[in-house]
A and B are shown apart, each in its own frame.
Chain A
Amino acid sequence: MRTPDPRPGAIFREGLWTRNPIFAMVLGICSALAVTTTVRNTLVMFLGVLFASVLTSVAVSLLRHRIPGSYRLMVEMLLASTLVIVFDRALRLVLPAVSRELGPYVGLIITNCLVMGRAEAFAMTNPPLPAALDAAGCCTGYGLVMLAIALVREPLGLGTLAGYPVMPAAYEKCGLLVSPPGAFLCLAALLLLVNTLRDRRPGGEP
């Protein structure tokens, strides 16, 4: 891996596009496929991942000189699961309906490769502020990709956008898009689009 640009803005931007977790590293796609049937669930999931990832990265970065090498993964995981428990509890209190719909996926933020990946690859070797920015950038990039998928799947598959009907009444809903196979096909199509764009613009800036 090349050395990251030290400027804070650049760290954030790199996570957004160049090192976008889904396009560049194909990490954390479990939830990108599972929760993108509606825009609302996608946004909640994004907030959860952002919360867990940024705070895990900051905590790991603060403790990085004290964590013994061989227990590294264990410590990172315990920090992440503590934060996910906090998020899960808060979600149950504030939005019980969304919490039920997301089901196991909130708990699975713990093993989301994105959270562990940023803690392991960046926060272990960098001070807290860059670590937070790196995690925030990657999560935002991740969130935008999930949102892009949700913006295709919800209107075409359910005829609504964030819960409000947007399609004309005569529109026949495309059930395939909100079913599991549709999720795989949507992400494959998106990867094709992004790779084509990247080929055209080798600089990689958005």
Chain B
Amino acid sequence: MNPVQVASAATTAGAFAVGDWSRLAAIFLSAGLVDNIALAWFIGMCAFLALSKDTRVAFGMGVAVTFVTTLTATANWLVNRFLLVPLGLEYLQFLVFILTIAAIVQFLELFVDRHFPALYEAFGIFLPLITVNCTVLAASIFMVQRQYRFWETVVFALATGLGWMLAILLLAGLRQHLAFCRPPKNLGEVGTALLLAGLLAMAFSGFAGMAVQ
């Protein structure tokens, strides 16, 4: 991907136009199922394996990731379009994206704690973990590399988060039932989770026929 191309596509007119609805639907299905961020791209693996022992925890993390991914990818699209591209600073994308993500997460933590204490009780502990969750940064990087427009970015980020949540919920459900089986002792807890993830990934590759490019 050369930077000049990125610049020209992101600054063309109609970046906010909704355009083709079927393209948005295709992006949604593709990011959520076919190109599932956890099972096809292996992104967000650390949390995917560490927090998938319990469906309640997995759900909490999933909701937090979905929300933050959508919010930050949208914010990063705006920053990229109105700040980095006009100033010719595309090479600072990683640095600026991380800053935006950290700032939004910090703000969100304060805001939720202040105004929705019950929500903070439930999801607050996941927020600090999210800055270093690859899923969030990956959505912003993908959106630049694939030259998505505004609404495409929003839909893509939402679907990415939901896809990650689906994957971690499925894995957590499977792992809770492991109490009834005896996997090889030397495989360890992580090895067993990886094996299950492999089987899940195989199941998800069945969606490949739905890919619309």
Contacts and interface: CB of A to CB of B under 8 A. Distances in A.
A31 B190 CA distance: 17
Interface stretch (A57-65, A129-137, A151-159, A184-192): A184-192
B46 A180 contact: no
Interface in B79-101: 91-95, 98-99
A180 B40 CA distance: 5
B94 A188 contact: no
Interface string B112-146: 00000000000000000001111001100110010
B212 to A, nearest CB: 19
A199 B92 CA distance: 47
Contact of B46 (A26, A100, A182, A195): A26
A87 B173 CA distance: 40
Interface residues of B, number: 44
Interface stretch (B16-24, B69-77, B194-202): B194-202
Interface of B: 1-2, 39-46, 49-50, 91-95, 98-99, 102, 131-134, 137-138, 141-142, 145, 184, 186-188, 190-192, 194-195, 197-199, 201-202, 205
A3 interface: no
Interface in A174-206: 179-185, 187-188, 191-192, 195-196, 199
Given A26-B49, A195-B186, A180 B42 contact: yes
A202 to B, nearest CB: 14
Q: A73, A100, A107: which has the most chain B beta carbons within 10 Å? A: A107
A190 B188 CA distance: 11
A110 interface: yes
B49 A30 contact: no
A92 B93 CA distance: 15
B33 to A, nearest CB: 13
A125 interface: no
B141 A107 contact: yes
Interface of A: 26-31, 33-34, 73-74, 77-78, 81-82, 84-85, 88-89, 92, 100, 103-104, 107-108, 110-113, 116, 179-185, 187-188, 191-192, 195-196, 199
B191 A188 contact: yes
26 contacts: A30-B42, A77-B131, A78-B98, A84-B94, A89-B91, A104-B43, A108-B43, A108-B134, A110-B137, A111-B132, A111-B134, A113-B132, A180-B42, A180-B201, A180-B205, A181-B199, A185-B198, A187-B194, A188-B187, A188-B192, A188-B198, A191-B190, A191-B194, A192-B186, A195-B186, A195-B187
A47 B6 CA distance: 26
Contacts of A77: 98, 102, 131-132
**Chain B contact residues, majority secondary structure:** helix
B209 to A, nearest CB: 15
B141 to A, nearest CB: 5
Nearest to A190: B191
A82 B98 CA distance: 11
B132 A103 contact: no
A184 B201 contact: yes
A155 to B, nearest CB: 20
Closest 6 pairs between A and B when the two form their complex, measured CB to CB: A184-B198, A191-B191, A181-B201, A188-B194, A33-B42, A195-B186
Contacts of A179: 205
Nearest to B198: A184
Nearest to A88: B94
B165 to A, nearest CB: 17
B188 A191 contact: yes
